[in-house]
Amino acid sequence: MSLDHRLSAEHEELRRTVEEFAQKVVAPKIGEFYERHEFPYEIVRQMGEMGLFGLPFPEEYGGMGGDYLALCLALEELARVDSSVAITLEAGVSLGAMPVFRFGTEEQKREWLPRLCSGEMLGAFGLTEPECGSDAGGTRTTAVRDGKTGEWVINGSKCFITNSGTDITGLVTVTAVTGRKDDGSPLISTIIVPSGTPGFTVAAPYSKVGWNASDTRELSFSDVRVPEANLLGEEGRGYAQFLRILDEGRIAISALATGLAQGCVDESVAYAGTRKAFGKPIGANQAIQFKLADMEMRAHTARIAWRDAASRLLHGERFKKEAALAKLYSSEIAVTNAREATQIHGGYGFMNEYPVARMWRDSKILEIGEGTSEVQRMLVARELGVG
């Protein structure tokens, strides 16, 4: 397979458009939202008008007719400035809308995708539970079919769910145990639960270390009733479905992490050229130059990794190992670059008014969300035949 990752004219135009939006619209405003722990509705609305939430979806469902590479390019450029905005897009597309597109019926696609693609509505994916994180097969939320009413009755809880409690959240796709196999292991299915359904409660936003301008909440379900037709995909195939969604999502998270890592380079290069110590810019010191060179090396390598995984996905090739490698490497170097950027900024790097402080706070979750670094290593080992 060719590893030529040069962008087409269309992809490069998209990248430049999102870069300009990030620099001119997001960068001047997002710090205030972040400090107030406030969701940036106006910025998200503009992202919807640009078509970013519909990038990888066909035009017949309200999308832009693009591909997964286009989405990842947008995520990288947004994350160079701010990760809260980037994760809102990532989760809205790869976790909110993508399950409907991949596994939904034609009726479900036409009901939900146009509003999800326009950004008028956000979707969320309810997977993680208080006692069930990396062990997603240990799901305890249940959905029982009520034959008299033709409804699913859902009980349980979910935690750390992005985009689940905004004013424009329209649905949460929930994984739930709907039966048992002959060996007693659970049959997990995915079911669409519209916002506002009786018994579906959204908790107050978490107090988080980072991603403070994004929405993350705990959800609870108490005898929540939804029509049987809200089953997403084949009953009992929910586990396999979300594994596919997570494989794709890891490429997107890798692009986001690469953007954060590159943003650390951008901010540090600018600072090193203007900050003076002992009568000269600190960038004249070889110690700073070497830090910057290493930071750029990491970001560049991470970009190659996620683009390789995205290319394999687009060509219909196996990409599980490459996605895990990209997510593992880019998330870990994002943390390293954020730490180094903070060090270069010195005391100012510890002040929230500087973007690198926000990047430092935002970086750690990248080693945890959508599969921890330990899970990625496990996946790579399995693909090598030793797991």
Token readout for 172 is 């949460």
Active-site residue identified among 77, 322, 332, 370: 370
Q: Is 287 exposed, middle or buried (0-12, 13-18, 19+ CB in 10 A)?
A: exposed
Q: How far apart are CA 70 and CA 66, in angstroms?
A: 6
Token readout for 189 is 């299915």
Element (H, E) at 64: none
| Secondary structure of residue 73 in the 3-state scheme | helix
Indicate if 332 belongs to the active site.
Answer: no
Q: Please, which residues bridge with residue 186 across strands?
A: 180
Radius of gyration of the chain (CA): 21
Location of structure tokens 């909440």: 217
- Residue 7, φ and ψ in degrees, nearest 5: -85, 150
Q: How far apart are CA 267 and CA 355, in angstroms?
A: 8
Q: How far apart are CA 96 and CA 161, in angstroms?
A: 11
Q: CB-based contacts of 248: which residues, under 8 Å, 6+ apart?
A: 68, 94, 98, 313, 323
Token readout for 224 is 């929540």
What residues act catalytically?
370
